[in-house]
Amino acid sequence: MDSKKIYSYFVLVFTFFAFTIISSDAYVQGHKKAPGRRRTPANGLNCDMFHGSWVYDDSYPLYNSSTCPFIDPEFDCKKYGRPDELYLKYRWKPNACELPRFNGQDFLMRWRGKKIMFVGDSLSLNQWQSLNCMLHAAVPNSKTSTSRTGSLATVRFEEYGLSVMYYRTTYLVDIVGEPIGRVLKLDSIDSGSSTWLGVDMLIFNTWHWWTHTGNGQPWDFVESEGQVYKDMDRLVAFSKGLTTWAKWVEANVDPSTTKVFFQGISPTHYLAKDWGEPKAGNCNKQTQPVIGSTYPAGSPPEQAVVSNVIGTMSRPAYLLDITLLSQLRKDGHPSTYSGDHPGVDCSHWCLAGVPDTWNQILYAALL
């Protein structure tokens, strides 16, 4: 073949491939979705899931509380007479993405043979029972078993070998009986932490009890760095105690085998002026969320403490930053429909209800 024919051959081949590439690129460009047509699904990494608003969704709730065998009376609002149902019909919609709908069967398959543990106070109990209800609704005929030993309660989904546990501890750090009385030890976390080892997912929580005083306070003194105090600024004490927890996590938990979450601060609604309705008093008889994406009272200072402490960790726990989305749900509490719980409960949450969204975000973060 002479040089002219070789040259012509290469020109022909180059022209063919150039045309193919340009045509393919034009096809892709012509078939791209218009900006904003479809919101990005959340997977815990590419989206801020914690800023948004509540929207009405008639497909909610995610389960019927009357068919869930795991709900304590204090959270079972429908059973104890709550007459309205609108509070059950709201879905959390982040500004930047769509939360995937919770898929209980997928969750059970992903965590087959594993152990999940909620560690904390009654707000952890609230979230634990919510997750159990969500999983049970997905496999209502699947065998489950329950057990309770001391501070540890377990629901086991037998067919999947999945244990979902709750370990009750109000402060995470220790309260120790000594000759002077009950001492809250901000630098010690020995009493229950051995139980937390060997678990595949840990979801921690504390704050609710740090503000208790008087007869509701389960300690007499505070100890920090070898010094004993009659009391201490509660935010300072909280920061010290949470720092002890963070150090324990870094020293004892292998992030390659155990996922660690912190629940974040669950707000209360005892002061209606916080959401701009001072005459309403508290959460009692509230039937709808705060409209929009902002809460008039702003962020509570304890939320900043949590963020700061987690920010100091070399391998930070995943913060389920549920504060704002929960602040907007002044309607979500048991109020006077809380079993034998006295008074008006504006701290905990009805089930079905707001903790289901916490678990929906947990699910999205695990995808």
What tokens appear for 77 in the block?
């609002």
- Angstrom CA distances, 323 to 140, 201, 235, 267, stand at 31, 21, 17, 6
| Residue 241 and residue 309 in contact, taking contact as beta carbons nearer than 8 Å | no
The one-letter code for the residue type at 367 is L
Whether 130 is catalytic is no
Q: Which of 136, 345, 347, 356 is catalytic?
A: 345
C-alpha span between 117 and 137 (Å, rounded): 20
C-alpha span between 41 and 164 (Å, rounded): 27
User: Can you tell me which residue has the tokens 């000594």?
Assistant: 178
| Residue 300 and residue 250 in contact, taking contact as beta carbons nearer than 8 Å | no
C-alpha span between 16 and 213 (Å, rounded): 81
Whether 193 is catalytic is no
Phi, psi dihedrals of residue 268, rounded to the nearest 5°: -105, 165
Q: How many CB atoms lie within 10 A of CB 216?
A: 8
Q: Which of 122, 163, 266, 347 is catalytic?
A: 122
Q: Which of 321, 326, 348, 356 is catalytic?
A: 348
The one-letter code for the residue type at 327 is Q
Interior angle at CA 112, CA 110 and CA 116, nearest 5: 90
| Residue 182 and residue 219 in contact, taking contact as beta carbons nearer than 8 Å | yes
What tokens appear for 75 in the block?
């959270």
HSE, CB side, 13 Å, CA atoms: give it for residue 96: 10
User: Can you tell me which residue has the tokens 């309660």?
Assistant: 153
| Residue 137 and residue 104 in contact, taking contact as beta carbons nearer than 8 Å | yes
Whether 338 is catalytic is no
Phi, psi dihedrals of residue 352, rounded to the nearest 5°: -65, 160
Question: Which DSSP symbol is given to 178?
Answer: E
Query: Any alpha helices (H) in the chain, and if so which ranges?
Result: 3-30, 104-110, 122-138, 193-196, 234-252, 301-311, 323-327, 354-366
Catalytic residues: 122, 345, 348
